[in-house]
Amino acid sequence: MSKVIFIVDDEKAISKLLKYWVKDKWDYETEVFDSGETLLKRLDSKKPDLLLLDIMLPGISGLEVLKKIRTKDEQLPVIMLSAQGNVETAVDSLRYGAYDYFPKPIDVQRLEPAVKNAIKNYELTKELENLKESVQKEYSFDNIISADKKMQEVFKLVSKVLDNDITVLINGESGTGKELIAKAIHYNGKRKDKPFIVVNCASIPRELLESELFGHEKGSFTGAHQRKLGKFELANEGTIFLDEVGELEMLLQAKLLRVIQEREFERVGGTELIKTNVRILSATNIDLREAVKTKHFREDLYYRLNSFPIYIPPLRQRKSDILVLVEYFLKKCNQKLKKDIKGFTKRAIKYIYEYEWPGNIREMENTIERCIIIVENDMIDVEDLPVHMRTNEEASYVEQEGGLFEGDNIIPFEKLKEDSIRHALEVTQGNIVEAAKKLKLGRATIYRLMEKYKIENRSND
């Protein structure tokens, strides 16, 4: 569904131009209003996704309109436009909750990313609010947080294998939650009161894996001082979870196949046939079919393990989980670390949302924990994120009259005034007259603001 932008400007030429960009060029739906009154009336029946609002209007002023909107709606992004183009109006706009401010003539090159960012942020905020409510109610697998449609499909599949013993192969990238799903299958199924045994086939040395899985008899090899029960015996009547099953060597693949088919095996160095009643779940983050093709994995075993495949998509393909997981881990890590970090700034959320998360949910959990440890106030900002997550951070600052813009990002507006002055003084090497000219401010105002923000002018030293 296409997004809707309302444009409010009494100057026909400007609203026409804005409409041309917004509708014809950027492909948003638009409605144009020539006064604050007509806009406010329309807002009773329809809510846009963004508002472009002129400050100088014939009846009630843009700032008044903004104030009125904010009494009912704190989130709707409003971008203010003004012909006066000075820092004072910009700051006033911000104080009343504008998302951004643009002096006229409007620089459309800069307006476009501002509009896009604002709409995206707004969408995220709304999504987060909706999800927060639904998450708690709907999904009942303990500790598995998700609101994404693709994960709903996964849960549906999980619910189908709870009450039977079908062999399930869980496939997914590292950190996507394969073990969590395996646990959910066991602890919500009919074997839940019996053991759940995990064997990580990649982390146990090959020589030991056979004995680990099937046990050994006393004296069966050097160091085997006594009989040892293997995981298959320990898991009897319960579930065994073979993690990274693709790492099994051929000999063990054959032995595993026999367990699946005959439900029996012998301990290493033993002759006694051991009967077993276990449910087998396995997981892999490699493409087992490919391993079959290259003859690293037995085809017959593959089909046995894969009777019921469940694929967990990576986090980057389930974007709508990102925010709920962020909330969840924020709470979880706050509790764990006995902290009370309130959340992430909108800018930080944008980075989190756009990041690829190659290590998936595990990476996110670790990242949030790290942020909570290092952050110095109660909101986590972009600077607190790991460096590799903010490669755009060093984006060049672009100077513009009345303000600063950083790549596609808008500098938090509370800081605009101070930053503008600091920046102007920097580029003019402390020349107040030049800085005042750049900012379209009087010298006295600059001095006053420098005092207010405790800005020292190096050239005066």
Q: In the complex, which residues of this chain contact ligand ATP (CB under 6 A)?
A: 143-146, 172, 174-180, 285, 361-362, 365
CB of 384 to ligand ATP, least distance (A): 21
Partner whose binding site includes residue 285, from ligand ATP, Mg ion, none (CB under 5 to 8 Å by kind): ligand ATP
CB of 356 to Mg ion, least distance (A): 20
CB of 157 to ligand ATP, least distance (A): 15
Partner whose binding site includes residue 172, from ligand ATP, Mg ion, none (CB under 5 to 8 Å by kind): ligand ATP
Measured from the CB atom, the residue of 313 and 430 that comes closer to ligand ATP is: 313
CB of 230 to ligand ATP, least distance (A): 22
CB of 141 to ligand ATP, least distance (A): 9
CB of 168 to ligand ATP, least distance (A): 14
Partner whose binding site includes residue 62, from Mg ion, ligand ATP, none (CB under 5 to 8 Å by kind): none
Question: The tokens 């881990």 sit on which residue?
Answer: 329
Measured from the CB atom, the residue of 85 and 172 that comes closer to ligand ATP is: 172
CB of 346 to Mg ion, least distance (A): 33
Collect all residues with Cβ–Cβ distance below 8 Å to 286 and sequence separation of at least 6.
246
Cβ-proximal residue to Mg ion, closest one: 179
Partner whose binding site includes residue 365, from ligand ATP, Mg ion, none (CB under 5 to 8 Å by kind): ligand ATP
CB of 170 to ligand ATP, least distance (A): 8
Collect all residues with Cβ–Cβ distance below 8 Å to 10 and sequence separation of at least 6.
34, 35, 54, 56, 57, 58
Measured from the CB atom, the residue of 180 and 257 that comes closer to ligand ATP is: 180
Partner whose binding site includes residue 176, from Mg ion, ligand ATP, none (CB under 5 to 8 Å by kind): ligand ATP
What HEC string does the chain produce?
CCCEEEEECCCHHHHHHHHHHHHHHCCCEEEEECCHHHHHHHHHHCCCCEEEEECCCCCCCHHHHHHHHHHHCCCCCEEEEECCCCHHHHHHHHHCCCCEEEECCCCHHHHHHHHHHHHHHHHHHHHHHHHHHHHHHHCCCCCCCCCCHHHHHHHHHHHHHCCCCCCEEEEECCCCCHHHHHHHHHHCCCCCCCCEEEEECCCCCHHHHHHHHHEECCCCCCCCCCCEECHHHHCCCCEEEEECHHHCCHHHHHHHHHHHHHCEECCECCCCCEECCCEEEEEECCCHHHHHHCCCCCHHHHHHHCCEEEEECCHHHCHHHHHHHHHHHHHHHHHHHCCCCCEECHHHHHHHHHCCCCCHHHHHHHHHHHHHHHCCCCEECHHHCCHHHCHHHHCCEEEECCEEEECCEECCHHHHHHHHHHHHHHHCCCCHHHHHHHHCCCHHHHHHHHHHCCCCCHHHC
Measured from the CB atom, the residue of 111 and 184 that comes closer to ligand ATP is: 184
Measured from the CB atom, the residue of 39 and 283 that comes closer to ligand ATP is: 283
Footprint on this chain of Mg ion (rule: CB under 5 A)? 179
Measured from the CB atom, the residue of 108 and 198 that comes closer to Mg ion is: 198
Partner whose binding site includes residue 420, from ligand ATP, Mg ion, none (CB under 5 to 8 Å by kind): none
452: left (phi over 0), alpha (psi -120 to 50) or beta: alpha
Partner whose binding site includes residue 77, from ligand ATP, Mg ion, none (CB under 5 to 8 Å by kind): none
Measured from the CB atom, the residue of 139 and 447 that comes closer to ligand ATP is: 139
Partner whose binding site includes residue 147, from Mg ion, ligand ATP, none (CB under 5 to 8 Å by kind): none
Pair type for strands 274-275 and 100-103: unpaired
Partner whose binding site includes residue 253, from Mg ion, ligand ATP, none (CB under 5 to 8 Å by kind): none
Partner whose binding site includes residue 31, from Mg ion, ligand ATP, none (CB under 5 to 8 Å by kind): none
CB of 178 to Mg ion, least distance (A): 5
Measured from the CB atom, the residue of 168 and 361 that comes closer to ligand ATP is: 361
Measured from the CB atom, the residue of 143 and 164 that comes closer to ligand ATP is: 143
Measured from the CB atom, the residue of 51 and 145 that comes closer to ligand ATP is: 145
Going by C-alpha positions, the residue among 49, 114, 39 that lies closest to residue 76 is: 49
CB of 360 to Mg ion, least distance (A): 11
